[in-house]
């Protein structure tokens, strides 16, 4: 620590170099903390469980090329036929899938005219739809066949019993979510009883604020389109999809609008997030590279300017380690000053994003991580020039440079 005084003195005398470096570190730190925070948030969003048995589920949407009065009978017939296809574990009618990007939503209130508690994503399908998707029931009962109603228009469906997600139950009863069982809720002013609670069921929109708050109604919509969710035996999804397609196309005038795997649907839903993630990573990598290069270039230049001084110190008995330590310490001090400024910038920027983009506040842990990262980056950048400096021969002191 005896080095401290001369270092500070040098910084004061040759202000420009260190000031530039500190400023560069400050801006780097600002970007680093904010970008890394965004990355973490997006990663968390993309990797959260959807509740679905993701690998084995696919959906198929086809038309019903039959007269209106046959819709319901044909719907049952089609489901039965698909169920008997080898490799099909389960099949249900379901208006949309989690993360499919399209679906319906309801307004949830505790009384018909009450204040809105939340929006909910609303799924409608056969009574066994939650088993088909592989969702886990954590409280209450599943549906029985008597719960099911078949309608020809969504807006008209009023089943009494529904299943809700645990996130919805927690929204209503934060202290004890199991209390929600058996309670009546109003979905767009129509009363329903909560019959069971599902662990997870992601809504159709991945980035929606109420993405986890979902309702499943035992309602089948018998009309010209037939949306089905199918679960294949593990590892057989490709074959099963082909077989289902083949069966459906046996019917003349039948058309398949969608036939896609859940994993692809999910990837598509988060496509925007994934693309933003890639961009953030590229910025971070470029930044790290440029900053490290900058530290290297600058310290090399600073040390070249001081070769004669170093020679004098070596001639007066400073060891190689002393010289090395001197430059490492100097870099750490300049970096720390940069980090201090960087903290101020980062907080200001974060305040701005909080007020303009409804971002979250960055937790202190990120600042600690960012500081450590910048310090290590600085030390790595300065190491090679400092090592070169420490190997300078004391004889330099006797020459003119």
* Tokens of residue 306, six digits: 């001081």
Report the residue from 7, 11, 21, 377 that binds another protein according to the rule CB under 8 A.
Answer: 21
- Distance separating alpha carbons of residues 400 and 303, to the nearest angstrom: 16
Site for another protein in 157-216 (CB under 8 A): 189
Q: How far is the CB of 275 from another protein (least distance, A)?
A: 5
In this structure, the number of other CB atoms found within 10 A of the CB of residue 170 comes to 16
What residue has token string 């929204």?
171
To another protein, the closest distance from the beta carbon of 10 in angstroms equals 16
Q: Which stretch binds another protein (CB under 8 A): 85-93, 145-153, 174-182, 233-241?
A: 145-153
CA-closest candidate to residue 230, choices 49, 127, 87: 87
- Shortest distance, position 24 Cβ to another protein, whole Å: 4
Binds another protein (CB under 8 A): choice among 7, 11, 34, 56: 34
- Considering CB under 8 A, how many residues would be counted as binding another protein? 64
Query: Measured from the CB of residue 136, what is the shortest distance to another protein in angstroms?
Result: 27
DSSP for 324-386, please give it.
HHHHHHHHHHHHHHHHHHHHHHHHHHHHHHHHHH-PPPPPHHHHHHHHHHHHHHHHHHHHHHH
Pick 53 or 106: Cβ nearer another protein: 106
Does 56 contact another protein by CB under 8 A?
A: no
Q: How many CA atoms lie within 13 A of 226 on its CB side?
A: 24
- 61 makes contact with another protein (CB under 8 A): yes
User: According to CB under 8 A, which one of 60, 280, 303, 382 is a site residue for another protein?
Assistant: 280
- Residue 149 as a binder of another protein (CB under 8 A): the answer is no
Smallest CA-to-CA distance from 169 within 107, 108, 97, 218 is with 108
182, 191, 235, 297: which one contacts another protein (CB under 8 A)?
A: 297
3-state secondary structure of 68: helix
Contacts of 395 (CB under 8 A, 6+ apart): 311, 315
Q: Which residues contact 164 (CB under 8 A, 6 or more apart)?
A: 120, 180, 185, 194, 196, 197, 198, 214, 215, 216
Half-sphere exposure of 79 (CA within 13 A, CB side): 23
Label the pairing between strands 104-109 and 118-124.
antiparallel
144 scored as a contact of another protein (CB under 8 A): no
Shorter beta-carbon distance to another protein: residue 127 or 157: 157
Residue nearer to another protein on the CB measure, 125 or 142: 125
Is the CB of 56 or the CB of 126 nearer to another protein? Answer: 126
Q: Are strands 137-140 and 190-198 parallel, antiparallel or unpaired?
A: antiparallel
In angstroms, rounded to a whole number, what is the distance separating the alpha carbons of residues 302 and 313?
16
Nearer residue to another protein within complex by CB, 138 or 287: 287
Is 96:123 a contact under the CB 8 Å cutoff?
Answer: yes
Question: Which one, 12 or 253, has the nearer CB to another protein?
Answer: 253
Q: Shortest distance, CB of residue 179 to another protein, whole angstroms?
A: 26
Residue 188 or residue 320: which is nearer to another protein going by CB? 188
Which residue is it, tokens 């490290």? 292
* Part in contact with another protein (CB under 8 A); list of ranges 162-170, 209-217, 265-273, 367-375: 265-273
Residues at the site binding another protein, with contacts judged by CB under 8 A: 16-17, 20-21, 23-24, 27-28, 30-31, 34-35, 38, 61, 63, 95-96, 102, 112-113, 116, 151-156, 189, 223, 225, 227, 249, 253, 255, 257, 268, 271-273, 275-276, 278-280, 282-283, 286-287, 290-291, 293-294, 297-298, 300-301, 305, 308, 349, 353, 357-358, 400-401
């Amino acid at each position: 620590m005896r080095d401290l005084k001369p270092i500070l003195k040098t910084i004061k005398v040759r202000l420009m170099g260190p000031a530039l470096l500190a400023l560069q570190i400050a801006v780097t730190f600002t970007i680093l903390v904010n970008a890394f925070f965004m990355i973490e948030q997006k990663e968390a969003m993309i990797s959260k469980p959807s509740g679905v048995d993701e690998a084995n589920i696919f959906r198929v949407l086809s038309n019903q090329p039959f007269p209106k009065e046959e819709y319901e009978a044909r719907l049952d017939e089609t489901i039965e036929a698909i169920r008997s296809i080898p490799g099909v574990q389960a099949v249900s009618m379901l208006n949309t899938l989690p993360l499919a990007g399209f679906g319906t939503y309801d307004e949830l209130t505790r009384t018909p005219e009450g204040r809105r508690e939340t929006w909910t994503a609303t799924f409608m399908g056969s009574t066994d739809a939650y088993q088909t998707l592989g969702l886990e029931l954590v409280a209450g009962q599943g549906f029985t066949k008597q719960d099911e109603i078949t309608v020809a228009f969504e807006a008209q469906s009023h089943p009494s019993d529904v299943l809700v997600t645990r996130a919805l139950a927690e929204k209503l009863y934060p202290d004890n979510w199991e209390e929600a069982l058996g309670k009546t809720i109003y979905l767009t002013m129509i009363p329903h009883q909560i019959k069971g609670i599902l662990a997870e069921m992601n809504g159709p929109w991945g980035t929606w604020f109420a993405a986890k708050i979902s309702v499943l109604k035992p309602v089948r919509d018998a009309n010209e389109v037939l949306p089905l969710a199918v679960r294949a035996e593990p590892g057989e999804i490709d074959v099963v999809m082909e077989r289902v397609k083949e069966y459906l196309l046996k019917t003349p005038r039948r058309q398949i609008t969608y036939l896609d795997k859940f994993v692809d649907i999910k990837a598509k839903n988060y496509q925007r997030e994934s693309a933003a993630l890639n961009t953030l990573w590229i910025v971070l990598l470029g930044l790290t590279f440029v900053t490290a290069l900058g530290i290297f270039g600058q310290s090399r230049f600073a040390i070249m300017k001081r070769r004669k001084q170093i020679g004098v110190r070596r001639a007066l008995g400073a060891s190689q380690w002393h010289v090395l330590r001197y430059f490492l310490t100097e870099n750490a001090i300049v970096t720390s000053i940069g980090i201090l400024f960087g903290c101020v910038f980062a907080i200001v920027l974060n305040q701005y994003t909080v007020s303009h983009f409804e971002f979250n506040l960055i937790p202190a842990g990120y600042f600690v991580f960012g500081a450590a990262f910048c310090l290590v980056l600085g030390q790595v950048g300065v190491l090679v020039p400092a090592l070169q400096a420490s190997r300078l021969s004391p004889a330099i002191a006797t020459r003119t440079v």
